[in-house]
Amino acid sequence: MHFSTLLRGLAVVALLRGSTAWSQTAASGFELERLELNTGQGSLLVGNGELLAPGGLSVGLVGHYQHLPLMLQNGEHQLARVSHRASVVLAGSYGVLPWLEVGAQVPSVLWQTGGDPGGMGLPPLVRRGLGTPVLQARLGLLSLHREQPMDLAVDLAAGLPVGSEPALARDAGMRFRARATAGVRWGWLHPAFEAGVLLRPSNGSFDSGPTRLIPELRLGAVVAMARKGLRAELAVRGAFSSDYAQPSLEMMGGVRLPLTSRWELFAMGGPGLGNAPGTPTARVLLGLSFRMEPPPGLERLSEAIPRFRLEQVDVAPRVEEPRLSVEPVPTRELLPAEAPLASAAPLLQGSVLFEPGRAELSGDLGLLQAVVVLLRTLPGEPVIHLVGHAGHAPEETTDGLLPLRRALAVQGYLTAQGVPASRLRVRSASPGGSGSEDPGHARRVEVRVAGQASSLAGETP
């Protein structure tokens, strides 16, 4: 009896060695999932080299479906080891320093089905189980916010072998990943690229010798188009490894819809090609994300190069001259009304510039620093007037609320720095009223500090 059992075991081993995918599936310690989400900034699948601001937080909950992620074949015999798989991924990132971001993601298999493996001598497939948690650190090298040509970062990640082995969700040991991500912005078009290497454990159950790390080259590219808050993405991902008969390739497209300033709904899907385990014929992602980034503090901007035009500064308290009184003279004719005095010059005036089509503040906010410092030294209750403007380019004119959203972004920064909201006056300029022929200066919020609430009431920007 023991001899016949041994013969059957040797026959199964011989069949499994004829197929790479077969041997990896049957062995213990095998992580089927190949997809790692991009936490933080950028596309859901491909990083763009941008980091969260210090104190920024991004959390996402993603539902994930795969069709035929694992097919085994030996000669004419095929087996859908996993035909349908549904899982959920909880992912998050946190900005620690201007050049450092940390993140983690925890996948879990909720439900999966497959063909009957009993005739092949394979263990039964467990329907659910914990996946491989991944810890990640992202190091920023270049940044568009620092007037550099692109966003560039390096990611280092480690996968922990604590998942469910019967659910095909655990490696035989730790896996490691290193990749570089880069991105640029051309108006409303945001392309990004990534390249990296995954070191995953080999399957030692059928390979001679000890378990070793097998390198796998991974490449990815994405083109994102952002218009009026809606973001569309088209991503391509590929993997190349020496122990697979052919490379794997996936193409996915989708949209990201902002629900509020912090909540976002997204959906993506697309086909996959290749015989590598974990490459499904179709993949669908649906999820919800939360992102919060605090406005940059004064200490973060201490070395930034200001991008504003300072037109006039007068920090000394202004003393208004007393008006001359006129004694009424008895007459039957009415005297003409006294003309109002000209408005006093603003104490501080300048402009905060914005990227094309964007309403988010960049790191160069020297003017707003000066406003905060000035208000701490002035007596009385000066009033700050914020007037949003937009340029004439297509990405500027398609969103009619863009000037107002820019002014509100400046208002949010000032209130976060302790400026009372009662001192702020926010409005947007009329279309075509930028008052500047320079396209870069037209994308601005005009900031004027007045000595009292009525001193600039009659001015038109």
Instruction: Give the number of other CB atoms < 10 A from CB of residue 149.
Output: 9
Q: How confident is the model at residue 321 (pLDDT cuts 50, 70, 90)?
A: low
Instruction: Compute CA 182 distance to the chain's CA centroid, rounded to the nearest angstrom.
Output: 13
Per-residue b or e along 221-231, where b marks 16 or more CB atoms closer than 10 Å to that residue's CB: bbbbebeeeeb
Q: How confident is the model at residue 212 (pLDDT cuts 50, 70, 90)?
A: confident
Residue 86 forms part of a structural domain: yes
- CATH number, domain of 311, equals 3.30.1330.60
Cβ proximity of 399 and 356 under 8 Å: no
Q: What is the pLDDT of residue 437?
A: 54
Annotate 133-147 with DSSP letters as a single string: -EEEEEEEEE-GGGT
Q: Are residues 64 and 101 in the same domain?
A: yes
Residue 348 forms part of a structural domain: yes
Does residue 113 surpass a pLDDT of 80?
yes
Does residue 364 surpass a pLDDT of 90?
no
Q: How far apart are the first and last CA of the chain?
A: 95
Q: Average pLDDT in the 361-379 region?
A: 80
Question: What does the alpha-carbon distance between residue 450 and residue 63 come to, in Å, rounded to a whole number?
Answer: 52
Q: How confident is the model at residue 439 (pLDDT cuts 50, 70, 90)?
A: low
Lowest mean pLDDT among 17-31, 114-128, 203-217: 17-31
Residue 322 forms part of a structural domain: no
Q: Are residues 376 and 420 in the same domain?
A: yes
Strand partners, 151: 183
Does residue 5 surpass a pLDDT of 50?
no
Q: Are residues 136 and 182 in the same domain?
A: yes
Q: Are residues 259 and 185 in the same domain?
A: yes
Lowest mean pLDDT among 5-14, 268-277, 426-435: 5-14
Residue 460 forms part of a structural domain: no
Q: Average pLDDT in the 95-109 region?
A: 95
Q: Are residues 195 and 75 in the same domain?
A: yes
Residue 326 forms part of a structural domain: no
User: Where is 377: in which H helix or E strand?
Assistant: helix 366-377
- CATH number, domain of 173, equals 2.40.160.40
Q: Are residues 275 and 311 in the same domain?
A: no
Residue 208 forms part of a structural domain: no
Q: Are residues 195 and 223 in the same domain?
A: yes
Does residue 64 surpass a pLDDT of 50?
yes
Q: Are residues 284 and 366 in the same domain?
A: no
Segments of 281-382 assigned E as strands: 282-292, 312-313, 348-353
Q: Which two tokens stand for residue 171?
A: 């490696």
Q: What is the pLDDT of residue 293?
A: 78
Reported as a single tens digit per residue, the pLDDT across 261-320 is 789 999 999 999 987 888 999 999 999 999 887 754 444 333 444 444 545 445 455 555
Q: Are residues 426 and 308 in the same domain?
A: yes
More confident residue, 449 or 456: 449
Reported as a single tens digit per residue, the pLDDT across 371-380 is 888 887 777 7
Cβ proximity of 403 and 428 under 8 Å: yes
Strand duo 383-388 + 424-428: pairing: parallel
Residue 400 forms part of a structural domain: yes
More confident residue, 349 or 315: 349
Percent of the chain with pLDDT over 70: 74
Residue 37 forms part of a structural domain: yes
Question: What does the alpha-carbon distance between residue 432 and residue 438 come to, in Å, rounded to a whole number?
Answer: 13
Lowest mean pLDDT among 137-141, 207-211, 308-312, 449-453: 308-312
Q: How confident is the model at residue 131 (pLDDT cuts 50, 70, 90)?
A: very high
Q: Are residues 362 and 272 in the same domain?
A: no
CA angle 236, 241, 243 (to 5 degrees): 140
Q: Are residues 143 and 23 in the same domain?
A: yes
More confident residue, 202 or 348: 348
Instruction: Give the number of other CB atoms < 10 A from CB of residue 69.
Output: 28
Q: Are residues 369 and 256 in the same domain?
A: no
Question: What is the count of structural domains for the chain?
Answer: 2
Containing domain of residue 402, as a range?
298-317+343-450
Per-residue b or e along 172-196, where b marks 16 or more CB atoms closer than 10 Å to that residue's CB: bbebebebebbbbbebbebbbbbeb
Of 276, 292, 308, the last residue of a domain is 292
Does residue 94 surpass a pLDDT of 90?
yes
